[in-house]
Amino acid sequence: MDNFKQLALANGKAPRLWIAQPDFRGTFGILSLCLSTLLICVWNAIHPDIPMRRFSTTRKLFVAFMWMVVAIFAPELLLFIAFNQRLAATKVLKLASKTFSAPPSKSAGEGDDTDLSERNVGKRKHPLTIVHGFYSAMGGFVFDFLDEEGQLDGPTFLPPGQTRMCISASGVQFLLRHDPDLIPDISEYSITERSKGSSFAKAVLVAQLAWFCANCISRLAQHLPLSLLEIATVAHGLCGMITYALWWSKPLNVADPTPIRGKRAREACALMQVCSMKHLYLAGGIMSIHLSAELDYLTTLPPNDEVEDKKGVTSIPPLSELPSVEGQIDSIVEGPVSLVPEKQSLGVVGLSPKQYVSPGVLVETSIELKAQILYRILRNDIPWHARRRMHNQPVHLTPLDVKRWLMASNAMRRYGVDLKSLADEIPSQQPHVMPKATMQASSDSKAKSLVGIVTTNAATVLLTVAFGLPHFLGWNAVFPSPRERHIWHAATITVTSWGVALGILAAIGLSVRWWFGASPWDRRGETAFVACGAVVYNTASGYLLVESIVQLFFLPREAYNLPSWSNYWPHFG
């Protein structure tokens, strides 16, 4: 600057204190602008679920990085997860408001095991908000089998080393219908104070996206071409903003869930696990392996049936004959129990295995293969109902199975429900309890009603169109070769119309099932179909992203010109 001043004074002129920006940009400027906008948008859009226990900083960053990869390569998937969680939160809030606004009935003590109809289910101290709904949908409540001092609080049916079960959104709805007093009465402030949301981060996101969009609009208004990378950033930014809006009330980075403890909680957990399908989610939730709930393989018999004594097998009387189930389960259940299907039972409601009916060799093989993969990854033993057996072959229950049945039986008696009513009330294939919370579980609503299926497919159409439509801005862009232009066109059409095609195929599937007398809501085989479609969709989406980067090095000269006013808007890039 000193040399500049000396030169200016030597020429007899005053120094120029303001130098305007050049009216052109470089490749690095385009790349840095798009990447900074993309990363800011993605980082702020991701709202992970609550871990079962507090994550280390390294683990937290790894989880965030993996979801950033999903958001960059499949932003519409993260958008769909946000939509489903918003829908689940709204359902929880609606049912909770209805439940807790009901006129209070006869009051009962905190630890009383009277029937639900005799309990006080009136208004609560803290009003319910959508924040509570999201908190329920993101794993905010867990069944904890340890007391506050870290010791087992009673008998457990969980695998060794596991002491908690996460309650899903459908599980919270189950509790609202049958045992709402178990749900802690917490304030919105107690949730939001643990949230790590930042007003500054929101301001940076809004400012950066506003500048980027204004820059793109001004370029189009002045007939300056956009690079494909800018167009891809617009599509990702649009998905990110919609995702952010859907998750606006979702708490961010809450470290610990709220535990629910006690005898009633353990019995409720046992029944909810019996009613829950077993799931393993892969590739961000696009694919999943699932097995039917234990409920589908159970029936009930009169509770006074005695368990036949067999060599090496423990005989257990019905639950009603035990003076203190809570204190005696562990001492009584010392070995496996053998039950003859539909002839012997356990518990006050008489739980008994159904007689095995072979669904066919192919289906049996498929179930066995899925069970081996699922439980090997989960490092658990394959349960009795996922094993192949003969028609009248006795079922051998482990001590953990027996404890689960006894506790579930006690909960069924208290709630006044039977297996049929439980099967009829389950609105979806979502599990009530899970070993841990994961956003992948929200990648599909697993709806089993016409309204639910229509809502899911309509959302799929709108969300894929929201991501695919901006790519049509590059329809007439300059490409490195004609072949790449044609592939871009095909990929753009594929991405935009994928949701429509999926909805049409879903409607055809429902119609075919209805025509042949099958249940229209039977979604078996859908996972494989969606997985195959996802391969095509992700290939097209991936090509759009890769080609956007490649085309950056083949831009026409006009793409480097700047609009006349955008230089003075504060931004990162």
How far out from the chain centre does Cα 230 lie?
Answer: 30
Q: What are the structure tokens assigned to 434, written together?
A: 């899970």
How far out from the chain centre does Cα 340 lie?
Answer: 38
Q: What is the pLDDT of residue 118?
A: 43
Rounded-to-integer distance, Cα 149 and Cα 569, Å:
56
Rounded-to-integer distance, Cα 29 and Cα 329, Å:
69
DSSP string, 267-299: HHHHHHHHTPPEEEEEGGGTEEEEE--GGGGEE
Rg (CA), the chain: 29
Q: What is the pLDDT of residue 277?
A: 82
Q: What is the pLDDT of residue 162?
A: 86
Averaged pLDDT in 10-residue chunks for the chain of 573 residues: 55 61 83 90 85 80 85 86 91 90 48 44 78 92 88 84 89 92 90 76 79 86 91 90 88 88 92 86 70 85 51 42 46 68 80 79 74 74 80 84 90 89 72 82 66 78 90 91 94 91 80 71 64 82 92 90 65 58
Q: What is the pLDDT of residue 320?
A: 41
How far out from the chain centre does Cα 329 lie?
Answer: 35
Q: What is the pLDDT of residue 116?
A: 43
Q: What are the structure tokens assigned to 108, written together?
A: 């009962």
Q: What is the pLDDT of residue 92?
A: 92
| Residues 213, 571 contacting (CB under 8 angstroms) | no
Residue 102, judged by CB atoms within 10 A of its CB (0-12, 13-18, 19+), counts as exposed
Q: What is the pLDDT of residue 327?
A: 47
